[in-house]
Structure 1
């Protein structure tokens, strides 16, 4: 019996789910399944079992040779694609349970099983299974650069659309809504075209409203073009604009040919420094410097004058009155023993090292909400240092100058880092302020004053500079 005949025979067993007969063929030729794998494109027994809904047989084949699960047939479909195409729900769920990576296998036109399910078989159980078990699959695009969100909009299934969009919100992946296909259409453009009202109600709060496609059309233009009146009203209520109401779009060529300004150079320098920075090592060194310099204030060289108290001795006479009186504090009580000349050399240098190390820690800490608490702790630590410094100083002028300079420097450093957090949230839509960037983008188109428009344009230019540097390896 030839290999082709053996494969046909196994395919016949796959139709009926005859597992015992499968092993009879394997006994005759132990390499038969491996021979199937070596064929570039072939309709395997797993394809046949998946299409017929023979779940047990399909899982048996997967157990014997898992690589068959990613094999494409001559039509460009994997076994999971076939199971979806034939609407064999039980088999689909079983295959994904066995191997979650099957959800990301690309087939005909670059469609993954998730893409196929979103567009052609938007079953809620299957979609939720794919999205929960293989969350990374949302990042896959087909050959037209369409995401799962684009395709589920084309299905026009309100429940499936609602499920996918709310999954994006729950997993803080709203940036997917801004991804563009080969015609630069976002999910909002597709929803406007197909009149997806439920999608529109969600996306006007979570997506950028005025993105333009390759035809220079915004979602509002698309809604008007396809005469979707309800969608048009929703977009207008959300203050969306038509392309005619927007200023000309700056192209990549325009940006690259434009002159760089001082702030762009500062952003570029910060990004380069941060890319080359070994954060862990810098933090350890900065913390050691902070600890050493703080200890120098608590225990300065030479020590601190102790407090003096005088009391009258008690006489043996029972009729005598016990008198205890504290002496007035001496001028040097609780002050540093170190002379003024040495103090003026040592303490400014120590304070400068302390202040700069605190500033480095502030700048190096990652931009996360819980780190705001750490920043507050650093400021309180610095304040206690400066108060202690004033308390033990013999002369007030030098300590007051150090207090003012250090406190102002730390305040500026903290302010800049807080602005960095806000800017990062606006530009990158980080999870803890994920709607900030979308809100900022949409509100920027409502600004009418030329000065504010220039500020918005300048901010976008800084964002482009930051993104450009971050892409460098």
Structure 2
């Protein structure tokens, strides 16, 4: 583009433009040959020079359809800037400019919604009501873009337009990730949007698919709970019939109408549901606290649960391994071998043989030491088994398993070394070899075939 023409466009100098055209009559015709897609009309729209834009439109109306190097037409630019007067002038050229697709297949309405230009949105929708149904290269409607960019007023205006033209079906359109507008609103916890979408006075009941699944297999309710949840939004969703994908699939397999299963409060926690249904009386504060922190597979993200279990397992492994370094009662600091001439202490009490570095507790009370050794080792081995189980599929899995085996070998070696009794040392060696090998099979057997004894259930009920 000619330097003088660019300067005139940036300043909005109409008189300078006219003098340049008188000097070079074909000046505007050479713009398209300059190698750049940018026209004086693009620059005028960026600089918001209405009169200059009018003059260019009058001289070369075809410039209104040109896309610049960034994929924007003059109407895209004016819509994003919110310049309603330039928008009107461009629409006078051709109302179909509303449907002109630019970068990522976005139309001018999309940019007006992204920026929240309400007056421009109204003008574009009047010019082309069908533009509300246009989608971007990522499958986004203008409704998706309004929610993603937190433009509630623009979203509300679009919703009113859909109501006027009876195009509520657009509310259930999915983007490239399979997300509806409701998925996006719940993931970003936009209470106003969710409340408006599920307001029966604004949107007819049953219009919104509250249990639509995205490509991740999640309903809007599950998307909300995955993002740590919001009690108010969750209440609105559940009141409107929102459930988890698992519960939705179960109801479909049973052939039940969805309306029959909506009242279920918590599909993932049958015990909680039975307790709420029974309603024997007001719950105690301890029961309320227990219910508040109780694990719920619908609300709690599996990744966060795994992280929590890993932390707990590591703490248990650390605490049990610490006993190797500092056993109860400590270790003997000296070696003493009683003989016939020296078999009692200064107070006349018989002294036991001891070796420096061996456990004091094991020397004085072998039975207690044996019990301590077994139960502490069970805690240590189970915690390491839990760590290994929770890290299945992680990168550097081989290195991690080698480290766990080395840790077990170190534990076994030290525990055997500080045991003062050869019998205890031998039994522990056998136990430390057999138990870790059979532990995965034992836990699998208990988990699959053994149920919680009834007396334990009754004891738990007493403390609630």
Give the TM-score normalised by the residue count of structure 1.
Answer: 0.49
Give the TM-score normalised by the residue count of structure 2.
Answer: 0.50
> Larger C-alpha radius of gyration, 1 or 2?
2
Higher RCO (CA 8 Å, separation ≥ 6 residues): 1
